[in-house]
Each structure stands twice: as structure tokens, then as C-alpha cells.
Structure 1
Amino acid sequence: MRTYDCIVIGTGSAGNQAAYKFIEKGLRVAIVENFTPGGTCAQRGCDAKKILLTGSETKDAVERLLGYGVKGLISIDWRQLMERKNEYTRAIPEQTRKRYAETDIDYFHGEPHFVSSHRLRIGEEEIEGKQFLIATGLRPRELSVPGSERFITSNEFLELKELPRRLVCIGGGYISFEFAHLARIAGADVTIVLRSNALKQFESELVDVLLEATRALGISIIKEAEVVAYEEESLYLSNGDVLKTDIVLNATGRVASIDQLGLEAIGVAHNEKGIHVNAYLQSSVEHIYAAGDVAVSGNPALTPFAGTEGRLAADNMLEGNNRKLELLPVPSVVFTAPNLALVGETEAALKKAGIPYRGRLIDTSAWQTNARIKDSFARAKVLVGEDDQVLGAHFIGVNAAELANYFSFAMQHRIPSTSMQQTGFAYPTPASDIASLFED
């Protein structure tokens, strides 16, 4: 039986960052994957999705500017767009395995299961480790209604060879809205089914604007309804509606990918959301750590946090628990048309916590930066505390993601709002609008 100083389970951002740190210290390292090596973000998430969105973003921009000096429509070639995505993603597994070989990381492919707290079984083979890092991420939540075995998830959507003529997206989160917008702009008839409020973690006033923009695209939204059954091409809802559709996308959320690990038997505390960790990313079992989306750390499930957590966990495993996890404000973005973005706290959260603030919703659609690109849904809300620090920044519009990045930088480095207002930026650009985003 092979023995390792550390065994990493998962080959995404968190797992890879940790494995390379262990190798740099001259340790013997194994990494285990039950899917294609390289992680979700690059192959079945952020990167792959954004390549497809390049097509819908371009088409949306052209259609917005018709009559603004732009003539002629463009169309999306779904097969060609998907092949462009595949050119990027198909190389990742081999590139990942090659780098493991070059850096002397032993790679194991298969379903991992703890035989004991120091021993892992992968298929017919068992390996032993002094320490473990679990970085298995999240997987799509399954629905259990008649016919749900025919639903697709984001994984299958990103492999569709043909754009469906009719698509129903179940769920009110990122994936549901992003893929609904992508498919609609590409030419599909799309309906979103919401059980409750959409995008609950975002500023509610801006979510309302996104719902308005979604309907303006021609997407139907059905609220307060659940799926009851799917039979042939008919999707039955709890409100009595029957939707005719070719494909149903189950985008009802994601759960921790840990069912197969056998964590109960070795005493690792966890729930559906993931593995419970302390400020050092250490689980309830001393020599087992968790990082990335699978760790219930207080950070949202975003790629920037995964790599940071992987490195931090590795440091603590190598040197003892001497680095605590710092919860930094990082933007969350829904890549719809237009984008919806937030960084920091919402107004509702500040009110609930009793934290004083100033700030209000501003309609920025008539500002030159947005008017020239016919961004009729552009809005902003910046929330500032009594100490002049930005507590939250919320945007919807074509430039929402980049504006959120500016405010993330300011919040992480505690740059007061007055300094942001006094900073000179190139004009006219989205950044040059920052000084006008603060309430007088």
C-alpha cells in the first residue's frame, strides 16, 4: 500500500493550489478525482459558460444598438459556439494530468471512500495518508418528481449539440437566469419557474429590475410554482399550469459532493451544504481539512475563494494552524443581459444588523456611459457607513461586473468613499461615474 504525506480529494482550484504547495515542500502527494481532472469552474462552470455567453453578449449588444447607427441583425450558430467552448475545455484534463506527472503528484481516478480516517479506497486500490484535504466542490441538486430523470443539469446544458426550441429553467439562482438569457438570445422560447423569490442574496430592488429585463427579452416567468411531474413533452406545475417543452433544466441549486466519501464513519461533521470547518479550514477530525465550495467556511461558493482557501489550508497543514481565514468582500455576478452584481452587504442585511448607512437606488440609464450603449436597465446602489467606508455596492447593467470590481478593491483595502470620489479616471468610462454614485 502506498503512503502519502497528504492526499487531496478534488482537482479544482482549491485542490490543485494545495497539492502544488505540498510538492514545493518536498512532500509525497496524491490527488484523487472521480470526474474529469481540472475542476468544475474551467470545464463545467464559469469559464465554459463565459465562452458561450460571448455569443449572446455580442448579439444582445447589436440588437440594443439597432437604430443607434447600427444596421442588420446577427444570429448565433449554436454548434459553432459550442465547438469553440469545447476547444477550450477538451484540453484541460490532459493538461492537468500532464502537470501532475511533471511535478511528481500521483493521480488516481475513481470514486474515493474512506476506509478509516487515514486510509482511502479508490476502486480496488487503497492508499494511506497522514493528512487529507477534501476539495470536492458542489454538484447539482437532484429533484425527485415523476419524470425528473429526464431533466438536464448545467453539466448537460453545456454539452448540448443543438439549441432546444423550447426550454424551461427550474430555479431562481445564477444558473437558471444565466442559461435562460443565453438560450433566449440564441433563439429558444424560454420559461423560468420560480418556487420563491429569485436571486435572494442580491439587492431586491435590482433583482426587480433584472426580472423586468428578463421579461423584456421575451422570457416568461412563472412565480410561486413547483414542478409536479414531467411526462413526454409536458411539464406539470403545482399551480395547474402545463408547459410544453423540449428540455427541462434543473437549476434548483447545488449540494456538497460528499455522499460517496463515507464521512459519517470517520466522524467528519457535515451537512448538505458541506463540511464544517474552523477558521483554519480544519474539520472535526484533526488531520482532515476542507477547502473551496465544499467547505462551510462563511465564504460564498466562488472560484476566487476556492484557490485562496486551498493555499491557506495547505499552509495550516504544513505549519500548524497559524493562518485564519479572512472573509474578504469579493463580487458576485449574474452574467445575464444585463449583468447583476453585488459586493458587500445588502440594505436588508444592514437593517437587520442595525448598522447605520446611507445610500439609495440611482437610475443611471441616462448617464452618457450607459445611454450611448442603450443600457436602459442600468441602476446602482452604494451603501456607505458612518465611518465613510463602503459597506455594499450593487449594480445592474452592461458594466455592472467591472463597477463591482472597483468597489471590491476599495472595500478590501478600506479606501473611504471620499477618496473614491476624489480619484481621477479616464472619461467617459464606467469608472468615471463612480464619483456620482454616492449619495450627497
Structure 2
Amino acid sequence: MSESYDLLVIGAGMAGSAAASKCAAAGWRVAIVDALPYGGTCALRGCDPKKILRRGAEIIDDARLMRGKGIDAGDLSINWSELMKHKHGFTDPVPQNMEDGLRDQGVQTLHGTASFTGPNQVLVSGTTYEAAKVLIATGATPRPLDFPGEEHLIDSTDFLDLESLPPRIVFVGGGFVSFEFAHIAARAGSSPVIVDRGARPLKSFDADLVELLVERGAGAGVQVQSRTSITRVEKAGAVYRIHLDRGGTPAVLDADLVVHGAGRVPDLARLDLEKARVAYGKRGVAVADHLQSTTNPDVYAAGDSADTPGMPLTPVAVFEAKVAASNMLKSGSTAPDYAAIPTAVFTIPELVRIGMLEHEARDAGLDVDVRYNDTSGWYSNYRIGETAGATKILVDKATDRIVGAHLFGSGYAELANTISVAMKHGLTTRQLKSATAAYPSTGSDLGSMI
């Protein structure tokens, strides 16, 4: 049995759903398939549930910061099971709501593992589907680890479904997942340790601000062990014994839970891409600038599935999918615009980057004015009792335009959105300063930062 579609989307996350909706609205016959519940990583197993759990941690942290300043925090604590129930109140309805929404738009919703059987043929649960175009939007999966005992680790999906939080947690890897979850766990009463093999964690962020984040996290109970590799993990009863190598010196660390936070890779293994004559590598499907496969013109890819310059962020995946859909509909060759996209590590406080790092700006031949501010004593931080905060804005002296913005502080992820718009549309710092902001607000600090 075979069915035919104008477009078959593999992956029912935010990106795949966006492309399916766009093409269905244009009158195409569209189907979408996923082996997991509809909604994807961000809504179900990543960004959104993580931020709900972070809210509990924020409340604890905010109360502690105001201790002795009029607030008696007392025995304020997180009830993990109730917080998790609150999270499920958001995530549980998502799959059905998303599937219903797609069906209302005329999209055929399929369930099962998809694999190519030919350039335009995809097998799902025993049925072969023909498609004039196929979009691969399968996202990413935890990176395979290379030490004995890696099977004892849980991943981010498992962490976001924990019924209870154990007292000692080790996070493997110094990236987003480890830092965000460790900051939540510390405020929830656990003692988290981040083990990172690199010289410093969060390597894609400004080094000076990362140092401030590590220091602030240490004060909240988040320990970071850099230049440390895991050689093996053993289970000893209810405890996990983690064997470490610290620059040639062996060490042992015991934990009640070990969490994989050492990065993700494109989730392509089950697709049988060779049968579709689709080239791919470690970074995903090989695509041209307009997201079309370099070896099969009927296949497109977006998000973490595609080897593009875009950051592994849900908003990036969504606009890539929309661009891919537009190119399929119009036989176009439009490339996504990756300029001035903010990325944030939602620790407490958060760490944000937009645009270039200092060395990148100088390597590009720009003469930049580095405008650094220690904002820890500014009113917006004093008001909430926060003692950590800094910003570093890189301004091209020739144009007076911001080419890089690096922020560490409470509420700075929201401030980053204003900077992103300014960078994307070429506003100068003089133009930004000419705007009158609502005062006193964190946003009103922007004029002083630049």
C-alpha cells in the first residue's frame, strides 16, 4: 500500500510543524510523522519545562537574596513533586493540542519510526509514503559517550521527569544542560557538581562573564570541576562511583545520580539516508544555503538535523523550517538570515550572547570599542538584592553599531531582545540612547551599558 503527498515532514517538533502548516495553508497535501509524541524537544523535553522548573529555583534564590532586607525566607523550599506536577500541567496537553491543530489545517498526522526506502519514498509502520518533497526535522539526541558505565547516566529528558531529586548529582559536560539543571538542583536542595574536560565551560560565551557565572554559582552550591575527564562510572549499591582523571591524577566522586549534559548530535541514525541518496555528516544533513540537500533536490532539512551555520536553538530551527517551506513552495533559493540571534544560558542569573566575541570581531578586522560594565551595584540589581552582574558591549568604531553583546545578570535575557533588534536593523548606539525607556526598569539600563 502506498500514499502520495506533496510534502512529508519527518519530525513533529516546532520546526517540522511550522513547515507543515505553511505548506498546507498554500494548498499542498501534507503529512507529518514522528515516533515520539508531537511537540518536539523544546515544548516537551527541553526549553519550556526547564524554564518552569527554573521558576521554582528563582523564587528560592530571590527570597535568599532579600534575607535581612525585609524578607524572612524561613524554611522556604521547593516541593519537587508539586513543581513537577505544575510542569506536567503544561507539557501533558501539548501533543494532542498540536496534533489537533495540524489536523485542523489539513495535515495528515502519522505515528511511527520513519525511514527512507528510496529518494522519495518513506516507510512508516509498514506503509510506504511517496512524497514530491521531504523535510527532515528530527532534531538532536544526546551525544554518545566514550567511557565504561555510560549506561548508568540519565539524559535531560529523564531529568525533567524525575519524581524526586537526590542529594548528590553529577552533571557530565560543561554546556547549557549541565549549568541550567545544576542551578535548578542547587536551589532545590541538592549538591550538584559539573565535571568538564575543558579548561573552562560554556566555551561559546564570553570568558570574563563565564568566570563571574561560575563564581556566582559556587555561592549557590554549584561546583564546577574543569580539566577533569570521566574514565568510568560504576554502580555500587544505590551509589554511583565516578572515576576521574584530573590532568593525570586519578580521583573518585560518589553521586546518587549522574546526568548526561555533554552535548547533542543530529538524530539521523534511523532514517536510512543512504537509500534516499542524502549526504550527511556529524553536523547533520549536507544542505545548500537554502536548506536543500546537496545530493537529493527533493529533500530539505532544518534545525538540528541540518548542517547549517545556525545555532542549535528552537527559534532558529523554526525560521529555518519556514524558509525551507517557502523555498519548496516557490522553487526558491532564499537563505536564512542568522544575524543578531540571541542565545541564553538560563542559569540564575542568566548568561546571554548576541553576535561576535572579542577575538572574532578583531579577527574580522574590526576596530571595536569594548564597553564593559560591572552592573552588580546598579539600582536594578540592588533592588532585588543581587550581587552579581556585568555586561560587555562591542561597538564597531567605524559605524557606531553593536557587533557583539554579552550580558550576565537578572532579567538580561529580555534586555537582549532589544539589543538583537538594534543589531539586526543597524541602529547605532547613539540612536539607542536617544530612546526614553520606562524607569526604573532593567531595560532602562541599556543606555548606560552602551
TM-score, normalization: structure 1?
A: 0.97
Name the SS for the 2:242 alignment partner.
strand
Percent identity of equivalent pairs: 38
Equivalent residues in 2 for 1:251-330, closer than 5 Å: 251-284=261-294, 285-330=296-341
Q: Give the Cα separation in 1 of the matches to 2:340 and 2:141.
A: 25
Once the two structures are superposed, what CA deviation does each residue of 1:14-36 show, in whole Å capped at 9, x if it has no partner?
11111111111221111010111
Could you say which residue in structure 2 is the equivalent of 1:220?
223
Structure 1 residue 266: Cα displacement: 2.7
Aligned ranges for residues 242-253 of structure 1 at < 5 Å?
A: 242-253=252-263
> Can you list the C-alpha shifts for 1:391-435, whole angstroms capped at 9, x where unaligned?
011111112212211101111111111111121111221121111
Q: Is the Cα contact below 8 Å between 2:139 and 2:266 reproduced in 1?
A: yes
Q: Structure 1, residues 345-371: CA drift from partner, whole Å, max 9, x if none?
A: 111211222221101321011111111
Using a 3 Å threshold, how does the CA distance of structure 1 residues 378 and 31 change in structure 2: closer, same or farther?
A: same
CA distance in 2 between counterparts of 1:100 and 1:361 reads 47
Show the 5 A alignment for 1:95-106. Answer: 95-106=97-108
Encode CA deviations 1:26-57: one digit per residue, 9 max, x unaligned.
Answer: 21111010111111100001111111111001
> What is the alpha-carbon distance in structure 1 between the residues aligned to residue 400 and residue 61 of structure 2?
38
Measure, in 2, the Cα distance between the counterparts of 1:383 and 1:33: 43
User: Pick from 177, 183, 190: which aligns with 2:192?
Assistant: 190
Distance 1:102 1:219 in 2: 46
In 2: Cα distance, 1:264 partner to 1:349 partner: 37
Query: 2:205 matched to 1:202?
Result: yes
260-269 or 69-78, which moves further after superposition? 260-269
User: For 1:149, what is the secondary structure of its paired residue?
Assistant: helix
- The CA distance in 1 between the partners of 2:359 and 2:112, in whole Å, is 45
What residue number does 1:164 align with? 166
Q: Which amino acid aligns with 1:350?
A: A
Q: Distance in 1 between matches of 2:439 and 2:99?
A: 46
Q: Please list the CA deviations of residues 91-123 of structure 1 after superposition, one character each: whole Å capped at 9, or x if unmatched.
A: 111112222332222222111111001101113
Please give the TM-score of this superposition, normalised by the length of structure 2: 0.95
Secondary structure at the counterpart of residue 62 of structure 1: helix
What residue in structure 2 maps to residue 70 of structure 1?
Answer: 71
Is 1:425–2:426 an aligned residue pair? no
Corresponding residue to 1:435 among 417, 435, 447: 447
Residue 408 of structure 1 pairs with residue 398 of structure 2: no
Counterpart for residue 145 of structure 1: 147
Q: C-alpha distance in 1, partners of 2:407/2:241?
A: 37
CA contact (8 A) 2:201 2:226 kept: no
CA RMSD of aligned residues (A): 1.2
Q: Is the 8 A contact 2:170 2:192 kept in 1?
A: yes
SS in 2 for 1:359: strand
Q: 1:434 to 1:100 in 2, by over 3 A?
A: closer
CA distance in 1, matches of 2:92, 2:154: 21
Deviation at 1:65, TM superposition (A): 0.9
Of 40-49 and 365-374, deviating more is 365-374
Paired letter, 2:202: L
Match of 2:346 in 1: 335
The one-letter amino acid paired with 1:356 is D
TM-superposed deviation, 1:227: 1.1
Aligned counterparts of 1:110 and 1:41: Cα–Cα separation in 2: 20
Superposition map of 1:82-121 within 5 A? 82-121=84-123
What's the CA shift for 1:374? 2.1
Structure 1 residue 322: Cα displacement: 4.0
Question: Structure 2 regions of 5+ residues with no counterpart?
Answer: none
**Which residues of structure 1 form unaligned runs of 5+?**
none
Tell me what 1:18 maps to.
19
Q: Does 1:368 align with 2:379?
A: yes
Q: Aligned partners of 2:431 and 2:191: how far apart in 1?
A: 47
